[in-house]
Structure 1
């Protein structure tokens, strides 16, 4: 049973990477924390959404926080201690269990869940962190410019819970607390007049939001594992969105994000490639020619023969991007209907792969593709949660625009350097097709910083953004939304809330005071948060 009213120093709503990082940082500094999560697994895009970590090329050396490095090290440690790796794989410091080309650390999502739980365990044992599982925010109470409490509904039939806290962190995937608390926010595309961004449209398009995707994992084994024909299969089979230039979305063909020209990939299960030779560096090689190995999360050849019957292939491709209609700022029943449609799209892609997809040998269909519900922690084999690329975004003290990070704008001068930096990140500005009919936007960026003001709303005094809901634009969200950046945002927000409680100050005061800001940044640095990139060791891509 859960008490109907709870109190803590800090309430963190959303147990994704930002939320967990915030909880660890706040608890380590001595604050009491209540952390909530809607789905069965904490970890968000890394776990319940099943997306391998999108990271920059220097991640093994620098450019991430110490706690995020501990997460990565912990994942590898599980494989070394518990899995029958071949010697050549176990001996590698940069072990990549999936040998996927999208990331230097492709792995099964459940492994990350265990490591995150382990990182939180000491604080949960002392009661400093309390995790409320399967909870979703449904209401908030506000007094002037302060949030006083948040009410959370149960996804499993328990009573509602109201939590009172001195600080509230919105670490949800879509900025769910912003409308509930009346915090001013933005959605979709801003206009060029508003932001001055060269890639922005002439008019604002608040309903033009990036695709969501429902990922899944398959293996390829003997037998016929064809699923039941999805109810909406005929619709999705014939769907030809504008960006596909007349080609069907259910295919191996999709626009090249950088050139927008149509590109046809291959799909060759268990190709017997040299898994130890995979060089997962997106700045040198996109690695998506053979979709089987692009986001592979288990390469069977790295383990004792027979341990895995097949590689495990994570499907997160353009063909499952749902952008028919937005899922943000619509009534809950419509939101759920559209999530269901996104799931139908993913199942339709699987059914097409099993029955109609062209094979390298000239035949059609891969009936040996089998869903792995056990890998995903779900009943139907799809990810527990949809993968959101875009959130509501606070109207922040500092808004990061394309002009701050784009290589075409900044050149060799590099991204805007912030005296108020609370961390670093790097990824191309990578925007998927959106609900307004837009195609990809893929713009080279320079290694960038995370300004403190991007976490702080203009008006509300005790709510902080702790996920991809910070003060970016639709365009810069495309490079600030990835795993290590989200973690860094959450870690900085959790530490800031605890710092303000201990010092008897506010986030706005920290932002405005050089002395307070310096004290806060010293603490971040001491806890392993890098505030600036090393000179001369990074480049745009």
Structure 2
């Protein structure tokens, strides 16, 4: 990297936002002592951050914990740029989420030497990746989230404990009384108490600790009546997770190092899926998600077009060097979250800690092997093999090996909720069968208790149970409040992929703007319940209170219906 790039990282993570992350944030993360608040948020995921924003905006005192060194989940520690729908610039997401996107663009304009042409782009896309209208570096998302929360840290309204995990919960009947968290640095434990707890962990870690009823994996068609559901339930059949990493290409350089320990295994590995995968995993062919037929992809880190097919380099590119003054970057950067590094040999949910860590290590070996394969064996258009000018960027992701801090998780534990969203509510084909029509402006089932909206196709990656892609159209949908309320436990609210969805409907409720919407609704719900001295269940099931709560959401820029 150039000297300037290293400085830009220092400014991004170590300017105002970064200084705050070193000063009050880390003071909160060390030392002992118990804490009490109006709401405790376990997990600094994207949904957890949105829940904190919603609760803090309404005046609550918040304690939030996070397992890694970075808040932000999908966007930061998992380093995945936003997956969004086509209307995101103007509608179909909360005002706070769209402001967050604006703040990311402004951060680039204020702290990075953009070209004059890039400065003039109202909807600046720093990376120019085709997957999103806003592809950016993970540290920029971290800086913006830190800056958004900084005033609450300074005022004492928010206390954040980084590198802390929940280890125990105390229950009083159907209520959570306290949660104990342990520092991964010191091993010290502290007890957190509050009237309400929000589970914003990536895997739904509070659910087993509190005895909150939940499901995992695939449900049976006889139970959900979903068109694409499996014939038999399989709780261990869960979507692949991925250890992502950024790649930079510097023409004329050779960064090839030692072969990864498991490279020979992964180079020859063929996924055992039904219907069958296209062949070897480390290859430019894969199973097309919609029809599962073998499909050729391209890869050229110069960004050139590749023989009538998608160039993977451009797909999740998070730095387009052409957007910056020459010399800022030695080359463009892409984020590798591809079919070729989806890990299907085991799960992270409801397994022992030893097995969980084994699968994370193996998934990291897969990603390191893919990197080495791209350097040495990937077919080139000129008939040669490999691109030795590819290199990892540890400083961009905050790790020593250049891999993401945390795996990109697509599926978690899901609460048994007052209301469960299924394919019947959001699947385009099944909705057309139910309502007897199919038209361009069809929407998902209307929910009288809606607290948010979203739109994304139902996208399930290959699974640990041997399923190939399950990918089909869905309709613009709403987020029902009932999916955020457990059937029994009274003061625990989910804030991300752990809401009441099915294995299938989770496939369109798991993306960035939807998780933000779920989290913000959770934070606002806790505030409203405390203010009105009602349980979340009573808010949903009392029509006038529900309507009042929904009015308060829309007044704060939260969309609860599609125009």
Under a length normalisation based on structure 2, what TM-score does the superposition of the two structures give? Answer: 0.91
- Aligned residue for 1:80, secondary structure, equals helix
Equivalent of 2:159 in 123, 130, 136 = 130
- Aligned residue for 1:116, secondary structure, equals helix
Q: Does 1:157 align with 2:186?
A: yes
* Paired residues of 1:2 and 1:161 also in contact (CA < 8 A): no
Partner of 1:408: 429
- Aligned residue for 1:78, secondary structure, equals helix
Distance 1:379 1:245 in 2: 33
Partner of 2:334: 313
C-alpha offsets along residues 392-450 of structure 1, whole Å, 9 cap, x if unaligned? 00000110000100110123342110110000000000000000000001110110000
Aligned-residue offset at 1:2: 3.0
* Paired residues of 1:101 and 1:288 also in contact (CA < 8 A): no
Which of structure 1's runs of 4+ aligned residues deviate more than 6 A?
Answer: none
Partner of 1:267: 299
Partner of 2:410: 389
- Aligned residue for 1:142, secondary structure, equals strand
Distance 1:56 1:22 in 2: 22
Q: Does 1:344 align with 2:353?
A: no
- Aligned residue for 1:194, secondary structure, equals helix
Equivalent of 1:198 in 208, 227, 231 = 227
Distance 1:41 1:19 in 2: 12
Aligned-residue offset at 1:356: 1.1
Aligned residues: 521
- Aligned residue for 1:121, secondary structure, equals helix
Aligned-residue offset at 1:158: 4.1
For residues 98-497 of structure 1, the aligned pairs below 5 Å read 98-221=127-250, 222-243=252-273, 245=277, 247-271=279-303, 289-411=310-432, 412=439, 413-497=442-526
* Paired residues of 2:449 and 2:480 also in contact (CA < 8 A): yes
* Paired residues of 2:277 and 2:286 also in contact (CA < 8 A): no
Aligned-residue offset at 1:93: 1.2
Structure 1, 215-224 or 401-410: larger mean CA deviation: 215-224
Aligned-residue offset at 1:208: 0.1
* Paired residues of 1:288 and 1:294 also in contact (CA < 8 A): no
Aligned-residue offset at 1:246: 5.8
- Aligned residue for 1:11, secondary structure, equals strand
- Aligned residue for 2:117, secondary structure, equals helix
* Paired residues of 2:453 and 2:514 also in contact (CA < 8 A): yes
Aligned-residue offset at 1:368: 1.0
Distance 1:246 1:408 in 2: 26
- Aligned residue for 1:75, secondary structure, equals helix
Aligned-residue offset at 1:270: 2.1
The change in CA–CA distance for 1:432 and 1:246 in structure 2 (over 3 A counts) is closer
Distance 1:217 1:58 in 2: 27
Gaps of 5+ in 2: 1-29, 433-438
Distance 1:271 1:239 in 2: 28
Distance 2:233 2:222 in 1: 9
Aligned-residue offset at 1:272: 5.7
Gaps of 5+ in 1: 274-286, 535-541
* Paired residues of 2:69 and 2:163 also in contact (CA < 8 A): yes
C-alpha offsets along residues 324-346 of structure 1, whole Å, 9 cap, x if unaligned? 11121001111111111111110
C-alpha offsets along residues 261-298 of structure 1, whole Å, 9 cap, x if unaligned? 1111111112267xxxxxxxxxxxxx971000000000
The change in CA–CA distance for 1:524 and 1:187 in structure 2 (over 3 A counts) is same
Distance 1:332 1:158 in 2: 16
For residues 21-100 of structure 1, the aligned pairs below 5 Å read 21-100=50-129
